[in-house]
């Protein structure tokens, strides 16, 4: 067995989670396009296997960007993403190939599970524009938004203790916050009531955002 194969098998034993976030020109997966994608991979305990991850901006012509709705026009414009997209020379075919090769470094086919916030939406876009990536992963997903919605209904106290997110709406920042949000639920919500100390949770998180940074 080659060193690379041995390394992949070692990663497989860690049950890799493939965190992906996409920025799109809109939410219509049949007509809109992925313009930015970030992928970070963690083990089953939510520890990053590679701090750099994979990130890319996919080219779309100005004519396409000009057709975005008001929300996308404002946020992608303010973040600088619109200008990056127009200037980029990356095609979706290139990104599909690059991201697939990145995944192969950390897992065997069918081992990694897709994760993120409302990640079913990202998956719809991936199926059309980056099909090789979807094909390499298991069909199951981990949707942090589903955990959040259940927590709101099942244990509102935990949800009220959730630190705020920055909401930068860039692919990498969004996926980092998704991982940190899942860590919060793991440490606070996935326990029975007797194991949760509201005082300890407040002590750890009060005055901080979901990334652990102080809120001025």
Catalytic residues: 139
Give 1: exposed, middle or buried? Use CB within 10 Å, 0-12, 13-18, 19+: exposed
* Residues 104/135, Cβ–Cβ less than 8 Å: no
Q: Look up residue 122 and give its two tokens.
A: 């990202």
Give, to the nearest 10 degrees, the angle between helix 144-154 and helix 171-184.
40
DSSP state of 125: H
Q: Look up residue 115 and give its two tokens.
A: 């994760």
| Whole-number Å distance between alpha carbons of 185 and 197 | 14
- In b/e form, how buried is each residue of 131-156, taking b as 16+ CB within 10 angstroms? eebbebbeeebbbbeebbeebeeeee
| DSSP H or E run through 35 | strand 34-42
DSSP state of 195: G
Q: Look up residue 144 and give its two tokens.
A: 């942090």
């Amino acid at each position: 067995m080659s060193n690379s194969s041995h390394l992949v098998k070692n990663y497989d034993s860690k049950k890799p989670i493939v965190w992906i976030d996409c920025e799109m020109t809109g939410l219509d997966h049949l007509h809109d396009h992925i313009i930015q994608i970030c992928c970070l991979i963690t083990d089953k305990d939510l520890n990053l296997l590679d701090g750099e991850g994979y990130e890319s901006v996919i080219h779309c012509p100005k004519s396409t960007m000009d057709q975005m709705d008001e929300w996308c026009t404002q946020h992608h414009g303010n973040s600088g993403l619109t200008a990056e997209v127009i200037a980029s020379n990356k095609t979706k075919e290139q990104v599909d190939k690059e991201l697939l090769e990145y995944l192969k470094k950390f897992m065997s086919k069918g081992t990694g599970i897709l994760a993120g916030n409302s990640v079913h939406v990202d998956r719809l876009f991936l199926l059309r524009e980056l099909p090789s990536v979807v094909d390499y992963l298991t069909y199951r997903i981990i949707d942090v938004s589903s955990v959040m919605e259940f927590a709101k209904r099942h244990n509102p106290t935990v949800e009220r203790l959730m630190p705020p997110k920055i909401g930068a709406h860039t692919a990498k920042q969004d996926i980092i916050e998704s991982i940190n949000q899942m860590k919060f639920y793991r440490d606070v919500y996935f326990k029975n009531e007797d194991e949760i100390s509201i005082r300890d949770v407040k002590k750890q998180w009060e005055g901080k955002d979901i990334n652990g940074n102080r809120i001025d």
